[in-house]
């Protein structure tokens, strides 16, 4: 449930979080970058508008900070980068714990078969999974694969391993609606890949 807070202070904290992740992800080019975090944030805000009772500030900060301690990018523990930011902003401990809960619900590999424990976590997880779908998801797959010396064929396998499974794993009605075109686009891409490669 959303808590009454000063809208101006909320907006300032969100702006500070955007600046923080912009610096944190400087130079990253494998699809887990500043622009990815901003797309997840925008997705999360769209979903949050359709979910009455969610705390939009928790959703905002968790979405912006969701990759701040991703093990693929950082060797931090216990959400250290996200924690550093939230402590610098004087975020109360109870709210910070809700943000960490949402952040820790995002990882696909660590959360298979698990339903997030809060509405805010469901929203942020959905927002991140949407960014792994559609044209953006395809581009991110090959950007990540190229940086990590994966062949095109290895990257194509990622579609059946993960991307095509995401639509059925979403938590919210709005995210499922947003996923329809993205899922169809990926299937069309794979059909064209098969035509062009014979594989």
Parse the chain into domains and list their residue ranges. Answer: 7-197
Nearest one of 115, 110, 99 to 44, comparing CA atoms: 99
State yes or no: pLDDT of 108 exceeds 90. Answer: no
**Which residues, 6 or more positions from 190, have their beta carbon under 8 angstroms from its beta carbon?**
156, 159
pLDDT of residue 91: 95
Residue 69, classed as helix, strand or coil, is coil
Nearest one of 87, 94, 124 to 108, comparing CA atoms: 124
**Which residues, 6 or more positions from 140, have their beta carbon under 8 angstroms from its beta carbon?**
31, 36, 131, 132
Section 29-35 average pLDDT: 82
pLDDT of residue 97: 96
State yes or no: pLDDT of 37 exceeds 90. Answer: yes
User: Domain 7-197 is in which class?
Assistant: mainly alpha
State yes or no: pLDDT of 4 exceeds 70. Answer: no
pLDDT of residue 141: 95
- Residue length, the chain? 199
The DSSP code for 3 is: P
State yes or no: pLDDT of 169 exceeds 60. Answer: yes
Nearest one of 55, 19, 44 to 127, comparing CA atoms: 44
Mean pLDDT, the chain, as a whole number?
Answer: 93
What is the torsion angle, in degrees rounded to the nearest 10, for the CA atoms of residue 195, residue 148, residue 107 and residue 125? Answer: -50
State yes or no: pLDDT of 107 exceeds 90. Answer: no
pLDDT category of residue 1 using cuts at 50, 70 and 90: low
Q: How many CA atoms lie within 13 A of 1 on its CB side?
A: 1
pLDDT category of residue 194 using cuts at 50, 70 and 90: very high
Neighbours of 139 (CB within 10 A): 11
pLDDT of residue 188: 98
Section 112-126 average pLDDT: 92
Question: For 118, left (φ over 0), alpha (ψ -120 to 50), or beta?
Answer: beta
């Amino acid at each position: 449930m959303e808590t009454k807070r000063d809208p101006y202070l909320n907006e300032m904290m969100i702006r500070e979080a955007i600046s923080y992740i912009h610096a944190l992800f400087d130079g990253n080019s494998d699809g887990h970058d500043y622009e990815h975090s901003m797309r997840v944030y925008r997705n999360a805000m769209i979903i949050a508008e359709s979910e009455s009772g969610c705390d939009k500030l928790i959703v905002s900060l968790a979405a912006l900070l969701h990759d701040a301690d991703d093990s693929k990018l950082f060797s931090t523990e216990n959400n250290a980068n996200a924690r550093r930011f939230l402590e610098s902003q004087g975020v109360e401990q109870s709210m910070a714990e809700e943000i960490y809960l949402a952040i820790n619900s995002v990882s696909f590999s660590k959360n298979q078969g698990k339903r997030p424990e809060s509405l805010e976590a469901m929203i942020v997880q959905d927002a991140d999974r949407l960014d792994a779908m559609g044209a953006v998801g395809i581009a991110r797959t090959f950007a990540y694969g190229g940086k990590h010396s994966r062949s095109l064929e290895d990257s194509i396998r990622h579609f059946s391993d993960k991307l095509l499974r995401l639509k059925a794993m979403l938590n919210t009605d709005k995210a499922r609606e947003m996923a329809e075109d993205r899922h169809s686009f990926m299937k069309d891409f794979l059909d064209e890949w098969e035509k062009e490669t014979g594989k």
